Structure 1
Amino acid sequence: MTIRVRQRPRSRRTALRTGVPLVTLALAVAGCGASVTPGAATSSPRSTAATHGTGTPGTTGPVPSRTGTDVATTTVRTAPMSPAATCTDRFLSGMTTAQRVGQLFMGGVSAARPDQAQLRILRDNHVGSVMLTGRSSAGTAATRKIVDGFRGQADRVGGRQVGLMVATDQEGGRVQVLNGPGFSAMPSGLVQGSRPTTMLRAQAAVWALQLKRAGVDLNLAPVADVVPAELGTRNIPIGSFQREYGHTPDTVTSHTGAFAAGFAQSGVMTTLKHFPGLGQVIGNTDTTAGVVDSVTSATSPSLKPFQAGIQAGSPFVMVSSATYTKIDAKHLAAFSPTVIDQLLRGQLGFGGVVISDDLGNAVAVRSFSPAQRAVNFTGAGGDMILTVRPDIIPAMAQAIQTKMGQDASFRAKVDASVRRILDAKGKAGLLDCG
């Protein structure tokens, strides 16, 4: 989501193809943009096993000669079956269609006081992931109590629970959902980016432990967007809130890597966002329709933070809802096979979970019905649909099930997405594999 309130290459093309990270991480990455108003909060590495609950895997490197679909298919057909993969297969084979579709969703609920009606929608639709939204000052212990209160509604397959994945938006600065006793006041991304990477990694490990104590599995951060210095605060979604780690690809790459490495050290997944970058835009997709980037291309240096994070093992990448005219002028990035399958999966070699920016309340997608949003994102190669509005999940889920019954290739995409999501859950210890 945007907000509610990351070797030295011999050439640009070489940088994108090699993308050697400055920090080695076994990380999990995610993030979302959010629109924010002053004072308001906004909004693993290679995956190997996971499954379904109720309710946004790294790879070996880029494979420019194959499409994203080829990469995913090859991984499934040739990778040796590990114990984690066996666990994934067991859960996947035992799921009903409704349970599989439910795994494709992450529904938002209030971090301070979850709405019981919303939780029922998530449960009734087998939603497998929950995002804590808004702003809470309850602290770690109270948040853990809230999370434990709804974890029990996770689905069971073959008598074993498919754990809920719990996420939140904990970037720092103006974008920090969880506060109060036990949580540090995290500085903005720009401040984090001014610190030595060793310091940031150590601090991130502490912040991650705080989230872990609160029952959070996935942080929708770090922000991998590169905002040029000359654009600065005129960049509404990122720069105006100082969410960026810096103004150059090298700085953003090193500090997103340090942040993610610290989180991985403490066992909390992270999400690289907002692919292919919101650093060159003016408008905020959460509050504005028709946001366009006419600068970023498939070989832009600003993709380096994503490439490095992917090669380091990032399990989640969040895709933006802007349009990138030099990549695919006809589709929003979240609905673009060119962006997801060809660029992210094919060229950059990402094999993990592709999560959307908010497809529930964002103005950028308002001209599409909830059903169209879900089918378009999944059809383009996306895996997990993030919506801060649980009430539209039934329509989205029904549309996906209907499309599955009509289109075998679409049904195969869904199964591949569920497998990637279950793999990530298995890595996080959310699958009861016996």
Structure 2
Amino acid sequence: MVSARALVRFAAVTAAVLSLSGCAPAVLPTTATPSATMTSSPTPSPTPDPIAGMSLRQKVAQLFMVGTHVGSADATALAAVRDDGVGGVFLHGPAPESIDAVAQLVGRFTQADSSKLPLWVATDQEGGQVQVLHGSGFDAIPSALEQGRLSPADLRRNAAQWGAQLKRAGVTMNLAPVADIVPAGSAGSNPPIGALEREYGGDEQSVAAGAGAFAEGMRTAGIIPTLKHFPGLGHVTTNTDFASGVTDDVVSASSPDVDVYRTLLGEGPAVVMMSTAIYAKIDKSAPAAFSPAVVSVLRDDVGFGGVVMTDDLSAATQVSAWSPAQRAILAIEAGVDLVLISSTPSIYPEMRDAVLQRATDDPAFAHKVDAAARRIAQAKAG
């Protein structure tokens, strides 16, 4: 029980405290830990669609790379850049023009470009017998077979120098290196690659080392490399440029010829060029560039989500059985993104109109056009 004296003492203390409270701060400091304030993380902004706002015609145009000779601007190619905003131009030759002369030609195209996306400017600068630009300022590049004898470090350094020369000329993409495996002792019977010393070696390891070093050197110089010719052109005995029905009966989805792409595509960004040969062990019904099954090996088995382009679809005898319109539609239907029309750019309007009409009539095909244009736009954005 509390005593009366204790109650009196408590009352006195309380009165004293209350009498002092008028002099005290309104809020007394405290050492209590403040309670945590719960805040939600900001919702990430959706990634802008790089093809938003583009018309169907503009998206279709991005799916084409049109050729011009280095010596003069092709009228069809220039109109395609100016009026449609095509995805790219390809410089073909061979040409003795200097770096400055090539840069002036490229300038005509870039100044005329009507697209909101950058214009790709490509050429074939492999080395050896396949080197378009060889005028003043451009080194004479050895063949891939000779390059393959260099150490990877030396080849990277040299390729970076060759790439820097392309950059000064206004080129942004090199349709190289060749990633085809030509088995030892068979080069002479392989007209498109081995007979021209375009291969880096006869096995997966040597090709991966050489092509990988070349591609890395190009990337160092700011040039997009292109790995070709998927899924491999090192076993055929005729050339798709000059013969029809060219068929490979060696390469399968699990061949070293395919595995080398897994290695190379893991090393850095690149475009992949499809062969126009037929691959009997994958799809014997159509050239690779027209085959959903072969493209699926690259997309699904290898896991490549970047830009896939065709080899030239304008003059190759291998594709001459199809009309230009059919060639373009079949390639895009198969899952290819970029159609190369290097030798005969005059067929571009027919190809463009066919793709545009098909995309207008067929929503599923229009979806493929969108997907291809989006991959190209994303690649151009870096």
TM-score bracket for this pair, using the shorter chain length = 0.7 to 0.9
Match of 2:73 among 96, 114, 126: 114
Q: Does residue 1:380 correspond to 2:334, yes or no?
A: yes
Match of 2:227 among 245, 255, 272: 272
Q: Which residue of 2 aligns with 1:149?
A: 108
Q: Which residue of 1 aligns with 2:180?
A: 225
- Residue 180 of structure 1 deviates from its aligned partner by 1.5
Partners of 1:93 and 1:423 in 2: CA distance: 12
- Identify unmatched segments of 5+ residues in structure 1: 1-79, 428-434
Match of 1:205 among 160, 163, 171: 160
Identify if the C-alpha distance between structure 1 residues 285 and 81 changes in structure 2 by more than 3 Å, giving closer, same or farther: farther
Q: Which residue of 2 aligns with 1:365?
A: 319
Over residues 228-249 of structure 1, what are the superposed CA-to-partner deviations in whole Å (9 max), with x where a residue is unaligned? 1121121000011100011111
Partners of 1:265 and 1:184 in 2: CA distance: 17
Q: Which residue of 1 aligns with 2:61?
A: 102
Q: What are the within-5 Å matches in structure 2 for residues 396-415 of structure 1?
A: 396-415=351-370
Q: Which residue of 2 aligns with 1:352?
A: 306
Partners of 1:418 and 1:221 in 2: CA distance: 22
Q: Secondary structure at the match of 2:199?
A: coil
Q: Is the 8 A contact 1:122 1:390 kept in 2?
A: no
Larger Rg belongs to:
2
- Residue 406 of structure 1 deviates from its aligned partner by 2.0
Q: What are the within-5 Å matches in structure 2 for residues 222-301 of structure 1?
A: 222-301=177-256
Partners of 2:161 and 2:222 in 1: CA distance: 11
Q: Secondary structure at the match of 2:159?
A: helix
- Residue 115 of structure 1 deviates from its aligned partner by 2.4
Q: Which residue of 1 aligns with 2:137?
A: 182
Deviates more, 1:307-316 or 1:386-395: 307-316
Partners of 1:259 and 1:106 in 2: CA distance: 23
Q: Is the 8 A contact 2:76 2:346 kept in 1?
A: no
Deviates more, 1:359-368 or 1:146-155: 146-155
Q: Secondary structure at the match of 2:234?
A: coil
Q: Secondary structure at the match of 1:187?
A: coil
Q: Does residue 1:325 correspond to 2:325, yes or no?
A: no
Partners of 1:81 and 1:197 in 2: CA distance: 42
**Which amino acid is 1:305 matched to?**
V
- Identify unmatched segments of 5+ residues in structure 2: 1-43
Over residues 77-135 of structure 1, what are the superposed CA-to-partner deviations in whole Å (9 max), with x where a residue is unaligned? xxx878xx53xx2x511111111100000001001222234422443343120000011
**Which amino acid is 1:107 matched to?**
V
Over residues 208-229 of structure 1, what are the superposed CA-to-partner deviations in whole Å (9 max), with x where a residue is unaligned? 0000000000000000000011
Partners of 2:193 and 2:251 in 1: CA distance: 16
Partners of 1:219 and 1:151 in 2: CA distance: 17
Partners of 1:367 and 1:302 in 2: CA distance: 27
Q: Secondary structure at the match of 2:141?
A: coil
Q: Does residue 1:173 correspond to 2:128, yes or no?
A: yes
Q: Which residue of 2 aligns with 1:124?
A: 83
Aligned length: 338
Partners of 2:147 and 2:76 in 1: CA distance: 38
- Residue 141 of structure 1 deviates from its aligned partner by 1.4
Q: Which residue of 2 aligns with 1:418?
A: 373
Partners of 1:233 and 1:242 in 2: CA distance: 10
Over residues 259-300 of structure 1, what are the superposed CA-to-partner deviations in whole Å (9 max), with x where a residue is unaligned? 011111111110000000000001111111110000101111
Q: What TM-score do the two structures reach when normalised by structure 2?
A: 0.86
Partners of 2:159 and 2:174 in 1: CA distance: 11
Q: Is the 8 A contact 2:81 2:114 kept in 1?
A: no
Q: Is the 8 A contact 1:189 1:242 kept in 2?
A: yes
Deviates more, 1:307-316 or 1:371-380: 307-316
**Which amino acid is 1:136 matched to?**
A
- Residue 353 of structure 1 deviates from its aligned partner by 0.4
**Which amino acid is 2:172 matched to?**
D
Over residues 272-329 of structure 1, what are the superposed CA-to-partner deviations in whole Å (9 max), with x where a residue is unaligned? 0000000000111111111000010111112232111112233300000000000111
Q: Looking at both structures, which has the greater relative contact order when contacts are Cα pairs under 8 Å and sequence separation is at least 6?
A: 1
Partners of 2:147 and 2:206 in 1: CA distance: 11
Q: Which residue of 2 aligns with 1:216?
A: 171
Q: Secondary structure at the match of 1:299?
A: coil
Q: What TM-score do the two structures reach when normalised by structure 1?
A: 0.76
Partners of 1:163 and 1:423 in 2: CA distance: 11
Q: Secondary structure at the match of 2:52?
A: helix
Q: Is the 8 A contact 1:139 1:182 kept in 2?
A: yes
Partners of 1:180 and 1:289 in 2: CA distance: 34
Q: Does residue 1:138 correspond to 2:134, yes or no?
A: no
Runs of 4+ in 1 over 6 A off after TM superposition: none
Q: Is the 8 A contact 2:81 2:109 kept in 1?
A: no
Q: What are the within-5 Å matches in structure 2 for residues 53-72 of structure 1?
A: none
Identify if the C-alpha distance between structure 1 residues 218 and 146 changes in structure 2 by more than 3 Å, giving closer, same or farther: same
**Which amino acid is 1:259 matched to?**
F
Q: Is the 8 A contact 1:295 1:326 kept in 2?
A: yes
Q: Does residue 1:311 correspond to 2:266, yes or no?
A: yes
